[in-house]
Amino acid sequence: MPLPLDGVTVVSCEQAVAAPLATRHLADLGARVLKIERPGGGDFARAYDETVHGLSSHFVWLNRSKESVTLDLKSDAAPAIMARLLDEADVFVQNFAPGVAERLGLGAAEIRATRPRLITCSVSGYGSSGPYRDAKAYDLLIQSEAGLVSVTGTEAEPAKSGIPAADIGAGMYAFSGILSALYDRERTGAGTELEVSLFDSLVEWMGFPLYYAGYGGTPPPRTGTSHPAIAPYGTFTAGDGTELVLAVQNDREWAAFCEHAVERPGWVSDARFATGSARVAHRGELEEEIGTIFAALTGPQLEERLTAGRIAHARRRELPDVLAHPQLTARDRFAEVGTPAGPVRATLPPITVPGRAPRMDAVPALGEHTDAVLTEFGFDAEALRRQGAV
């Protein structure tokens, strides 16, 4: 059966993480994605590392099921080629630096003037206006400017997120924005112009700490895996070294925790711990007492208690543990994907469509589809190669 976006064509001048993540999700749902890359080097994420059989882990993650077409966008041949591709496209995505699309003749207003059904999506660091419009916008910089670094880490030291949170946030908003625009076009017949910035996306994700600081007067403290407004919440260690993460979020769960996990039913009425705010105020004392009790238990014994009380908990797993996670194994969440260096393991798309197999096509080599695509659209690939355009 066809996937939801079968028949949708996306042309994307993309690199790094945010825009490629958005278009990979579109490809997962069946869209045809023509990825335009610079001749010679291509998307610079191809060279981030060589950890996946010599390929970049970022690139392998973000670019399966796409067709790679090399094209020098500054060449004399580029305007005619891009015009022909866009004539057949439903969506155009780009994450050029501000102003570059317009200089290349690929600004949203210009290309949509004769293509009213086209949906354009611009992904940038800070947006198309404002004093930071032209600032460099790598993920760490956005995490710093948006305040994520200030609330991540420990009391002693702030830290960035271990994943590119700003890039992922922008990529997901671009993906959802494009889906909404495709739906709207079905009703109105008209495309639209979308704009997504990494900064705006991450500031939206910072909603809780911004409200906390703006109305509470102080920012939420950095508490590692703990929570500034909830206790007990965070990582605790059993006597055999097993690390378990607790999330006791209300008085009902607290009563169950007291009865089953620590076998201290008296704590429910103990003035130090009887309310959520009291538990936070006495966090150090509470965590010390919990730690003493847990130290006398093995990991399996502690998990048995937590499970019996239906108390929210998890293992704190290292990455090799995640790759062997029993939930992923039981649900058969891995598939094999081709790459220029051979097959690799990949997780299935998080959006599943009942009765329809997910799309898991290969990660393309640089320019792998140039000749086929250009020929399909009526161009002489060999002549363009002699000109240095592809």
Q: Are strands 243-247 and 233-237 parallel, antiparallel or unpaired?
A: antiparallel
Tens digits of per-residue pLDDT, 188-212?
Answer: 999 999 999 999 999 999 999 999 8
* Domains in the chain, number: 2
Of 315, 350, 378, the position where a domain reaches its end is: 315
Three-class SS of 181-233: HHHHHHHHCCCCEEEEEHHHHHHHHCHHHHHHHHHHCCCCCCCCCCECCECCE
The answer to the question of residue 326 being in a domain is no
- Supply the pTM of this predicted model: 0.90
Residues 339, 218: Cα–Cα separation, whole Å: 49
Quote the domain boundaries for residue 376.
9-206+333-387
In this prediction, the residues of the chain whose per-residue pLDDT falls under 50 are none
In the structure encoding, which two tokens stand for residue 266, read together?
């008296």
**Is 299 in contact with 242 (CB distance < 8 Å)?**
yes
**pLDDT for 65:** 97
Same domain, 137 and 31: yes
User: In this structure, are 279 and 196 located in the same domain?
Assistant: no
Neighbours of 11 (CB within 10 A): 24
Please report the beta strands in 255-330, taking only residues with DSSP state E, as ranges in sequence order.
313-315
Length reported for the chain: 390
Helical axes 18-28 vs 165-188, angle rounded to 10°: 50
Q: Give a yes or no: residue 212 inside a domain.
A: no
Q: Is 380 found in the same domain as 351?
A: yes
What per-residue confidence (pLDDT) applies to 7? Answer: 96
Same domain, 268 and 192: no
Q: How far apart are CA 202 and CA 100, in angstroms?
A: 24
What local confidence, expressed as pLDDT, does residue 179 receive? 98
Residue 224 counted as domain residue: no
Question: Do 189 and 259 share a domain, yes or no?
Answer: no
Share the mean pLDDT of the chain. Answer: 94
- Domain match, 287 and 196 both: no
Helix 198-205 crosses helix 165-188 at what angle (to 10 degrees)?
Answer: 100
pLDDT at 229: 78
Instruction: Determine the residue type at 278.
Output: A
Phi first, then psi, for residue 334 (nearest 5°) are -115, 150
